[in-house]
Chains A and B, each alone.
Chain A
Amino acid sequence: MRRSLVDTIARPFQARDPVGPVRTDEPLFDEAVLGRLRRLALVSGRARTEGIAGEHRSRRRGTSPEFADFKSYSQGDDYRRIDWNTFGRLDELFVRVSEVTTELSLHILLDASESMDWSGDDGAPSKFTYARRLAGALGYIGLWHGDRLTIAPFADELAAPFGPVQGRAQIMPMLRQLEATPPLGGTALAGSIERYVTARRRPGLMIIISDLLAGDPDELRAILRSLRTRRWEVTIVHILSEAEVTPAITRRYLAGIDANRAPVELVETESAARLRLTPTDEVLDRYEAAINGWLEQIEEICQVERTKYARFLTSWDMESVVLGVLHRRGVVA
């Protein structure tokens, strides 16, 4: 029997290896999460365009079918907007004022590099799975509210994007597409973004979902500055595993249950470069200091470049924590 789409989405997460690279065919959402997502909408300050399909309300009044208010007739008003029923009851001319709605062009750039396909925390999904779920949630919100959505996975280079699409009928294809998206290889974050925006005439809301491990922070600074000057509204969703930032879990991942001085050989997922070390307390302390310094530098860059920044750990719960963070960060409302 063919499984329904909702069943597929609601299927519990399959068991997977506790650590290391993970499988990519996991379902991304269940129905309860989707129901809550419908009540949310993306928030954008300037990246909107007028359109019939959009549901985003505007302060401007116009001629759209959406009634907003009455006003007294004045010279020059369109006769077609006069409410004759009101004139009959009040014997005074009133004009129907309608609200102008806008649509949002949402661009989700999904990091599909090998570094994302990793989980060092037993029980937590991989960063890539987490990123796809987050992209699916944001895309779901956008499509539900009539936004124009494009999801573009990237790694060494841009992969074939999903979209632009609009309308709720595209939700399921979007989710299937995300489910089917595999890790693609190395990472070229700045180059991929540059190529993506070059091919777009109008700026929009860009959400970059990545672990940002590719390239130098200065490259990130440069591309964010470029996007800002091109009037793109950018949000960075930074996905990390707890094993990357929490020393205790890092040590457990590296050495197993007998921790401390067990020697390990580290293999970088993308380049296969190796490093042999003994994860002593001193080494882990230095590692923690290095990654914290890097995170602070990322935040500082985002702040300077007026880019919304939200960091997520894969161990966080999607419904209660992630959406809350996005709300607090002004990404959704």
Chain B
Amino acid sequence: MSLLLPFGLLALLAVPLIVVLHMRNTMPRTRTVPTLRFWLAAQPAPVEDVRWRRPPITLLLVLQLLIAAAVALALAQPVTSRALAALGITSRSGPIHLIVLLDGSTSMTATDAATGATRFDTARGIARTRLASLREGDVATLLLMGTHLTTQGATDAASLTLLRQRLDELEPVGGRADLNAALRLSGSLLLPDRDDQIVLLTDGAIGVDASVAAATGAAIELIDVGDLAAAGNLAIVDLAAGSAPANPELFELYARVMNFGPVETTVPVALTGDGLEIDRQMVPIPPNGGAVELIWPLPAGTRQATVALDHADPLAADNEAAVMLRQGAERALALKILLVSDAPDALYRVLTAIPGAQVTTEPGSGLEAALAAAAYDLIVLERVTPATAQLAQSATPLLVVAPPPGELFPAEGTILEPELSHLRAHDPLVSGVDLAGVNFGETTRFAASAGTEIAGTAEGPLISRTTIAGAPAIVLAFDLARSNLPRRVAFPILITNAVNELAPSSLPAAMPLGDPLRYRPRAAATSVRISPPGGEPVELAVAAGGVTGGEVSYVNTGRAGVYTITELDAAGADIGSGRFVVNAGHERESDLRPSPALAETVALARPGEASGGPRASQTNLWPLLIVAALVLLVLEWTANLLPRWRPPIYHSPVSRS
């Protein structure tokens, strides 16, 4: 129960006032009599006359105190939520808008020992109950929180029924629930003609900004479905593989294991490579968020490494993590780059440093043969201009550096000392690229093209984005040999940005549960088929055009395991495939302990002007208290009229002075 107007409790000052009034010996009515002789004989022994007496415990006093207390509480406008609502005693006067924020993060998949159900199942049951209480005219919105928000609404009886069915079919999204985003979205969904109420169903292992909560515009009812007894959890929160310093051909595996329980726990940790156990050791893990870092050298040729904790805890999914090693998993999807240059040193060093890149170098004269021999994901041309017909045939993205003037790049002169005069600072191509102090050297001034100038001088462009023969291309007009850029940090960043923009993505070795996968397939791919572990494959079309064009975004990574991704061309043929692993362990989500500040932060949320008044799911008790006060008032009057209920009066003879 909470109070909407706590200052109303000041009316409780009437309680001691009533007691003080009852403690007074009030003056009764006066009657003259001829003599007191017989009354004195009829009286018991007189007592001393006192102005104050002990508080008489009478029915009148009790009733008056109850009336004062009821009125004071009514003025404070107490509201309660479920207790009275369950009895059907509510004061809702109009339709409501119920917004259910359902936590679908990884931690919600933990199983509580008391019920045997997952926290998500418990939360879903509560949400089902809340939805079932809605009436005709009410509006419901269900927000499933995970790495991404899923919103479903219902505005009539039919859609409400459908929403309940969808709720039953929901699976936790996994990952980390973004409560801030959910509250912002909820705030924008508030309906001015409805009594908005927000119900947050979570295990408490979630955070929110106080400013976001305060700006929500509606009170939030927090329902904690977590089980404190199940808060102890062990998890592999990080798993990564990298080249061994001593031998780049071999890999080392890094794992980080955390213990969120209150006591130190020693668990067996097993390392498996391609299904064969490589190592097993007993590892003590300190309590209360303590971590242990483990490093193993992996045998050569290992394609998939898996680390597992042999331990039973509420969240079993984060007891195992796997990683796909690059030399095995991504061979089919390795980035193939053709570098055509007569002096490729600077570019070659940068390109070969890009993870997963396979760089083939050809002189300027070997371009035609190279294109005919193999397909590439990216062609880098330095001081080489190919024939348009050749490029149109391959439809391969291009990175063109210092192109010779010609048909594709008509020249209008020379810029002797180019000085950077304008730059699209927010363009991802120059993200992190510091061009200050760069001497570009004498540069050919090309005619303005239909592309976008990223950086340039007053006389002409230096870096631009354009399309050549239907394929995306980035053109660096300056000659690397005359510029000092290759000797600056900005150079590898610029080239890497260009390759990332033009070339297909590399698959991550492993990713957290619920994190969305953004993947750029090779240029020939028109769609991508993703097969989750134990689930139906999903085929996603490759988006076309724009800076973010050519990408697919896959968000259903809520299930831990190995995912297979296959690129398909326009004819539906398989042009390459790879795998990636989704691990459930996360430093935040594996911590099942409730956030102590969550309730306080959520309590900052207050109804806005548009949705004024108490929450309809809450029962405003002031009408009931006023009714109770009136009933007590009637009883008090009745008792006052019945002589036997009157308080006794102390008596004493007093002589008038």
Contact = CB atoms under 8 A, between A and B. Distances in A.
A274 B641 CA distance: 26
Interface string B618-657: 0000000000000000000000010110101111111110
Interface stretch (A140-148, A154-162, A283-291): A283-291
B34 interface: yes
A269 B644 contact: no
B387 interface: no
B31 A265 contact: yes
A275 B28 contact: no
A258 B640 CA distance: 11
Interface string A104-125: 0000000000011010100000
Nearest to B46: A275
B458 interface: no
A67 interface: no
A287 B39 contact: yes
Contact of A118 (B34, B36, B648): B34
Contacts of A120: 33
A20 B32 contact: yes
Given A259-B643, A273-B36, A264 B29 contact: yes
A277 B34 contact: no
B34 A115 contact: yes
Interface in B21-66: 27-43, 46, 49
A261 B46 CA distance: 17
Interface in B41-97: 41-43, 46, 49
Given A259-B643, A275-B43, A265 B36 contact: no
B34 A266 contact: no
B41 A286 contact: yes
B627 to A, nearest CB: 29
Contacts of B646: 261-262
Interface residues of A, number: 45
A268 B643 contact: no
Interface residues of B, number: 32
Contacts of B36: 266, 268, 273, 275
A153 interface: no
Contacts of B654: 265, 273-276
A276 B652 contact: yes
B43 A283 contact: yes
A319 B31 CA distance: 31
B641 A258 contact: yes
A244 interface: yes
B33 A265 contact: no
Contacts of A116: 34
Contacts of B644: 260-261
A254 interface: yes
A255 B147 CA distance: 81
Contacts of A115: 34-35
Given A268-B35, A276-B649, A290 B656 contact: no
A21 interface: yes
Contact of A266 (B31, B41, B641): B31
A271 B38 CA distance: 15
A293 B604 CA distance: 80
A180 interface: no
B41 A287 contact: yes
Contact of A265 (B29, B35, B40): B29
A273 B653 contact: yes
Contact of B649 (A258, A263, A273, A290): A263
Contacts of B651: 263, 275-278
Given A254-B31, A269-B32, A278 B649 contact: yes
B640 to A, nearest CB: 10
A316 interface: no
A272 interface: yes
A262 B655 CA distance: 21
B643 A261 contact: yes
Max chain B C-beta neighbours (<10 A), residue from A19, A241, A253, A263: A263
A267 B30 contact: yes
A283 B43 CA distance: 6
Nearest to B648: A278
A287 B38 contact: yes
A10 B654 CA distance: 44
Interface in A272-306: 272-278, 283-287, 289-291, 294
A258 B32 contact: no
A223 to B, nearest CB: 19
Nearest to B29: A264
Nearest to B654: A274
Nearest to B653: A275
Contact of B656 (A211, A244, A273, A286): A273
Contacts of A213: 34-35, 37
Given A268-B36, A286-B41, A274 B649 contact: no
B43 A277 contact: yes
Contact of A262 (B27, B29, B41, B653): B29
Interface string A228-247: 00000000000001001000
A249 to B, nearest CB: 13
A268 B27 contact: no
A87 B30 CA distance: 82
Nearest to A241: B34
B370 to A, nearest CB: 118
A218 to B, nearest CB: 14
Nearest to B41: A290
Contacts of B656: 267, 272-274
Contact of B643 (A262, A269, A285): A262
A240 to B, nearest CB: 9
A208 to B, nearest CB: 17
Contact of A274 (B38, B41, B643, B653): B653
A265 B39 contact: no
Nearest to A256: B29
A241 B643 CA distance: 26
A286 B45 CA distance: 13
A176 B39 CA distance: 37
A275 B34 contact: no
Contacts of B42: 283-287, 289-290
A276 B28 contact: yes
Nearest to A285: B42
B646 to A, nearest CB: 5
Contacts of A275: 36, 39-40, 43, 46, 651-654
A266 B40 CA distance: 10
A117 to B, nearest CB: 9
B177 to A, nearest CB: 69
Contact of B38 (A254, A258, A291): A291
A267 B31 contact: yes
Q: Which of B39, B43, B641 has the most CB of A within 10 A?
A: B39
Contacts of B34: 115-116, 118, 127, 211, 213, 241, 244, 268-270
Max chain B Cβ within 10 angstroms of own Cβ: one of A120, A261, A277, A289: A277
28 contacts: A211-B34, A213-B34, A244-B34, A253-B31, A261-B646, A262-B643, A262-B646, A263-B29, A264-B28, A265-B27, A265-B28, A266-B32, A266-B33, A267-B30, A271-B655, A272-B656, A275-B36, A275-B39, A276-B651, A277-B651, A283-B42, A283-B43, A286-B42, A287-B38, A287-B39, A289-B42, A290-B41, A294-B37
Given A259-B643, A267-B31, 16 more contacts: A115-B34, A241-B34, A244-B34, A254-B31, A261-B644, A266-B33, A269-B32, A272-B655, A272-B656, A273-B654, A273-B656, A275-B40, A275-B43, A276-B652, A290-B41, A291-B38
- Of all A-B residue pairs in the complex, the 9 with the closest CB atoms, nearest first, are A263-B649, A286-B42, A263-B28, A115-B34, A287-B42, A290-B41, A260-B643, A290-B38, A277-B651
